[in-house]
Structure 1
C-alpha cells in the first residue's frame, strides 16, 4: 500500500511539473510569430478575444493563456489592432491586451477637407464602423449634441485633427469629437477676437475662415488674405473667391473654371452675390480661424499669387498693374 501511495505521489508530482512546465513555456518561452494582426473589436468579451487569438495561431497553449488571465483576476482586455512579429512571449501578448498597447488607428481630417471627403474617409478607414453615419444633410442634427445650434449643414463644423479610435468604434462618435473640438475652439477664438470686425456671429467667422482655407495660401499669408475679404465685407463688395464657385459647381467642376462656371446660379457664387455664402465650404484649420479673427491691419482689397509669392493692392487700378506685371504668360490664383 505504501509503495502505491509513493508511486501515486510521484506520478502526481510529475504531472504537476509537466503542467507547470507547460504553463511557464506557454507564457515565458518566446515563440517565433510571422507578421500577424489580431483585431479585437470594441465590446468583445473575453471568449471572443481568446477565440481571435487562437484563430490567429499566436498562442502556444490557448488554455494556459486563459488560465493566466484568470489567475490575474480577469482584468479587462482592451479592443485594438494588435500586431505580433518575431520572438514573442505569451505573457507579452497578455500584457499588451491588458494595457491596450495596440497599433494606433487614427482618423485624420486635414484643413480644407469637405464634408463629402470626410464621409469618404470614414467609409475607407480600417475597422471604423461607418454604418451608423446619417446622410450628410442630416449630420447637422446629430451635431447638436456637440453644441452646434441653428446650423443648416455640418460643413465646416469638424475640427481638422487626428482622432484615435479602436476597431468597432462608430464613425459618428469620432465626428462628434471633431465637432466638439471645433465648437470649443471657435468659441475661445471668438471671445478674444479683434475689435470692429464686420462679422456678427462665430458662425460667420467660420464661414469666412473656410474660404481663407480653400484659397490655399500658406499660413504666413492667411492673415493678410483674411484682411482682403474683411475689407470687402466692410465696403459691401463681393468677395469674388474662386473656391466658393468651385463649391457651388460640386461634381460639375472639371479642374478649371470657365466663364460659364463663373455665372453659376448659386448663393455660394461670391462673384454674383455680395456677403458671405450660406455655410462654410470646408473644414478650416485653427490657423485660418485665427487669421479671420485677428487679420492683418491693411486696406488691401485685392491679391494675386504667382510662383508662391503674394502681391496685394488697395485699388483696382493697382490690381490691374500687378496683373500685367506679375501674370504675363503665367497662371495665378487671385482675389
Structure 2
C-alpha cells in the first residue's frame, strides 16, 4: 500500500513538474500576431476578462483564459488600465499582462473632427509628435492599401473621435483604427436603418451623411436637413447643396461661392447634376449617420441659415423666399 502511495505521489510530482514546465514555456514563449506593431484599445471600465478578450480579438494569439487566470493568481486582476496599447513581435504572455496592469499605454491624443476632409486629416496627423510618420510618403491609394482598406476613395472613410496613440508607433495604426471604427459604426447604423430610406448601400449612406454633416453644425437640425434631401430626391429635384459644389471646386474655391460656380459643372455640382455626388465630401459623425438612416417624415423642400447656426425649414419656394428675406439677403437653400 505504501509503495502504491509512493508511486502515486511520484506520478503527481512528475505531472506537476511537467505542467509547470509547459506553463512556464507558454508564459515566456513569444506569441504570434497578425501584424507588428499591433495596437489594442482597452476601453475605460474594462475588466481583466474583457481586456484579455480584446487583446485576442485584435489578432494576438494569446489565450484570454490564461491571461485572466494569470492575472488572478498574481493578484493583478483588478489592476488593468484603459488605454491604447502597442504590442510588437516577440512579446510573450507575461509581458502582455505586465503592460496591461502597468498602464504602459498611449502617450499622445488626437481628435479627429466631424466635417474634416481626408486632406485635412492627413495634414493634422502629419503634425503629431511621437509618431513614426509613414503616411506622408504614400499616395491616398497606397495609404488605403497599407491599412487594409479596399475602397477606391479615402474621403469619408474615417470615424471622427478622440484617439490615443503610443509614442513611437506608426501613424498608419492611427489611420487603421479610425477606418475600422467607421466601418463598425456604419455597419451598425445601416443595420438599424429605416427600410424606407432610398439608399442602395452603406456607401450611399456615407455620402448622404457627409452632405448633412457639412450643411449644419446643429445636431438637432440634421434630421430635417436629411428629410429635405430625401424629399428633393423623391421629386427628381437636384440636391442643390453648396458644400458639395465647394468640395468639387478644390483649390479654386477662395472662400466666396459665386453664382457662376453653381453653373460650372463638376461631378460634385449638385445644382447641375441630380442624385448623389460620387463620393462623400467629408467625415460624418454619428449624429449625421443617424439622421440619414432614420430621418423624420416631413414636407420640407428648402432651408436657410438663420445666422445663429440653426436653419429655417420651408415647405415651398414661397415660404423659402420669405425666410430668405427675413434671415439673409443671399440665401440659396
Which range, TM-score by smaller chain?
A: 0.5 to 0.7
In structure 2, what is the equivalent of residue 305 of structure 1? 305
In structure 1, what is the equivalent of residue 143 of structure 2? 139
Q: Please identify, of 124-133 and 212-221, the stretch whose mean Cα deviation from structure 2 is larger.
A: 124-133
**Is the Cα contact below 8 Å between 2:209 and 2:289 reproduced in 1?**
yes
**Is the Cα contact below 8 Å between 2:135 and 2:143 reproduced in 1?**
no
Q: How far apart are residue 102 of structure 1 and its match?
A: 6.7
Q: How far apart are residue 268 of structure 1 and its match?
A: 0.6
Give the distance between the partners of 1:110 and 1:285, measured in 2 at CA. 8
CA displacement, residues 184-203 of structure 1 (integer Å, 9 cap, x when unaligned): 11111111111311111010
**Is the Cα contact below 8 Å between 1:248 and 1:264 reproduced in 2?**
no
Which structure has the larger Rg over C-alpha atoms? Answer: 1
Give the distance between the partners of 1:192 and 1:284, measured in 2 at CA. 17
Q: Please identify, of 180-189 and 317-326, the stretch whose mean Cα deviation from structure 2 is larger.
A: 317-326
In the comparison of the two structures, how many residue pairs are matched? Answer: 238
Task: Give the structure-1-normalised TM-score.
Answer: 0.65
CA displacement, residues 147-192 of structure 1 (integer Å, 9 cap, x when unaligned): xx4x320100000011111122111111111111101111111111
**Equivalences for residues 55-134 of structure 1 within 5 A:** 99-100=102-103, 104-133=107-136, 134=138
In structure 2, what is the equivalent of residue 251 of structure 1? 251
Q: How far apart are residue 312 of structure 1 and its match?
A: 1.0
**Is the Cα contact below 8 Å between 2:307 and 2:327 reproduced in 1?**
no
CA displacement, residues 61-82 of structure 1 (integer Å, 9 cap, x when unaligned): xxxxxxxxxxxxxxxxxx99xx
**Is the Cα contact below 8 Å between 2:106 and 2:166 reproduced in 1?**
no
In structure 1, what is the equivalent of residue 323 of structure 2? 322
Q: How far apart are residue 130 of structure 1 and its match?
A: 2.0
Give the distance between the partners of 2:276 and 2:100, measured in 1 at CA. 51
SS at match of 2:213: helix
**Equivalences for residues 1-335 of structure 1 within 5 A:** 99-100=102-103, 104-133=107-136, 134-143=138-147, 145=148, 149=150, 151-308=151-308, 309-328=310-329, 334-335=332-333
SS at match of 2:305: strand
**Is the Cα contact below 8 Å between 1:245 and 1:264 reproduced in 2?**
no
SS at match of 1:312: strand
Give the distance between the partners of 1:325 and 1:193, measured in 2 at CA. 36
Q: How far apart are residue 103 of structure 1 and its match?
A: 7.1
SS at match of 1:251: helix
Q: How far apart are residue 306 of structure 1 and its match?
A: 1.4
Give the distance between the partners of 2:123 and 2:295, measured in 1 at CA. 33
Q: How far apart are residue 96 of structure 1 and its match?
A: 11
Q: In the superposition, relative to structure 1, how do residues 295 and 274 fare at CA in structure 2: closer, same or farther (>3 Å)?
A: same
CA-atom RMSD in angstroms: 2.5
In structure 1, what is the equivalent of residue 68 of structure 2? none
In structure 2, what is the equivalent of residue 13 of structure 1? none
Give the distance between the partners of 1:96 and 1:277, measured in 2 at CA. 46
Give the distance between the partners of 1:132 and 1:307, measured in 2 at CA. 39
**Is the Cα contact below 8 Å between 1:190 and 1:293 reproduced in 2?**
yes
Q: In the superposition, relative to structure 1, how do residues 157 and 102 fare at CA in structure 2: closer, same or farther (>3 Å)?
A: closer
CA displacement, residues 297-333 of structure 1 (integer Å, 9 cap, x when unaligned): 20111001112242111222221222223324xx65x
SS at match of 1:260: helix
